[in-house]
Amino acid sequence: MRKMLTVTVSVFIIFGLLINFSCKVGNDGEEPPDDNTYTLTVWLGTGVEGTPAAGDYSYREGESVSYEYSLTVGYSDLTVTLDGQEVSAAGTINMDRNHSLNASSGSSADYFVSMNGNDNNDGSSENSPFRTIARAFEVVQPGETICVLAGTYYESLTPENIGSSSAPITLKGEGNSTALDGKNSTIQGGNHSTVLDGQREKALGIWCENCKNLVFENLEIRNYTDIGIGAYLSSDITLRNLKVHNNGFAVQLKDWELEGYGIDVDECSNVFIAENEVYQNGPNPQTLDILMGTGINTFGCTNCTIRSNRCYENIGGGMLVEDGVNVLVEDNEVFDNDLDASVDEWWDGGLWVDGGHDIVIRNNTFYGNLGPGIEISDEDFQEPYGYILENNTSYENYYGIFIWNFGTDDWPPENIIKRSGNQFYNNSRKDIWIVAWY
């Protein structure tokens, strides 16, 4: 499993205070301002952590400021510059004048895509961009980045057998995000500037098969009938800072046995799904007793991290982790998902974990889901083990947590579910519901 880089940060400010008791004060009793004050302006890019944080800081002449930066998991290529000159990731600044400190992730793009581009261009700059993302995927190589400039792109991308374990291929939207859209319609809310839109006709927004080391970030993906973005039989897949909504509402790929998903990752390894907003995905109109969608759906994945996502108002489950191995689900907010399938009034969970082993669920918040906030089961009698459930909060759902098929009406033994620090309260039916068989 990928690990978060550990950062040790310290800021040392040495104040050389010269106290002169005979100095003059103003009429309001305050000491006149020191003319020898300088400003440190700090800019931090996405995925950068450390101190000082972004902002403007005032220091007296001669003070020293220590800085140190690194990248959060899933980001690469840290660059730190001081007054436009590249410096080390950690160091000390002498405040002898105004300074500008900039820490950023990623490298400049190798290919550009624009609504005003042309696929006959070489795509190598913003002045000669491609018109389509599909064209950029035809030429991009491992270690290179595609930057999609602001606009709405009516494309369906299905990369297959591309990528290398040696270096990632990155597709990123300009600014906060770029949208891929399935229909030329007005979408309320959001601040993503690059959109993939399926026009409520195309089945797949982005679907990667047998791919390696791909990064997708800063995109809005909407209006695809089956799946907004996903991967199958792939490795080292990063889905980060995406806005994925209004997908999976009318499945066309019937032989895929789909239910309609925002994000769908099947039988992949080394998966990182983080800082995404996933909402209003799933069958619409809802097909009771037959199809229930999922905001973030994973099946058979190994070494998977699902972190700091907001998953809400999906028709069906918020998140599903099925048959996963070495999976971390943490710091997510899962709420207001409609699980009503007219089967005992609900089916699915805010988070449903079924099968697999060595799965950590921690520091998540579940509320307002029409069903269990958390559901843990052994539906296919696989005898899962190694679940860790800690510091989660689940409230105002039908059930705080529902556990079934572990052969006991009480909490399963610790080798199956080890728990600590969880809170289940104010759920309308029951806070904790455990049945031996279901």
* Residue 39 vs residue 149, higher pLDDT: 149
- 205-220 pLDDT, tens digit each: 999 999 999 999 999 9
Contact indicator for 177, 228 with CB cutoff of 8 Å: no
Assessment of whether the complete model's pTM goes beyond 0.95: no
How do the residues of the chain divide into helix, strand and coil, expressed in percent and rounded to 5?
0, 45, 50
In angstroms, the Cα distances linking 350 to 112, 279, 347 are: 38, 12, 10
Q: Is a pLDDT exceeding 50 seen at residue 186? A: no
Q: Is a pLDDT exceeding 70 seen at residue 292? A: yes
Q: Is a pLDDT exceeding 90 seen at residue 84? A: no
Q: What φ, ψ does residue 191 adopt, rounded to 5°?
A: -135, 25
Q: What architecture does CATH give domain 111-435?
A: 3 Solenoid (2.160)
Name which of 370, 333, 334, 329 is nearest 353 in CA terms.
329
Sheet of 212-217: strands edge to edge?
Answer: 111-113, 145-148, 169-173, 212-217, 235-240, 269-274, 302-307, 325-330, 357-362, 385-390, 417-420
- 343-365 pLDDT, tens digit each: 556 677 899 999 999 999 999 99
The full DSSP string for 190-236 is ----EEEE-TTT-SEEEEEES-EEEEEESEEEE--SSEEEEEES-EE
Give the whole-angstrom CA distance, residue 102 versus residue 315. 42
* Alpha-carbon 319 to chain mean position: 13
Provide mean pLDDT across the span 185-199.
64
pLDDT, the chain, mean? 85
- 238-260 pLDDT, tens digit each: 999 999 999 999 999 988 878 89
Lowest-pLDDT choice from 25-34, 226-235, 270-279:
25-34
Q: What φ, ψ does residue 55 adopt, rounded to 5°?
A: 150, 180
Domain boundaries, given as residue ranges, for the chain: 37-104, 111-435
| Share above pLDDT 90 across residues of the chain, in percent, rounded to a whole number | 66
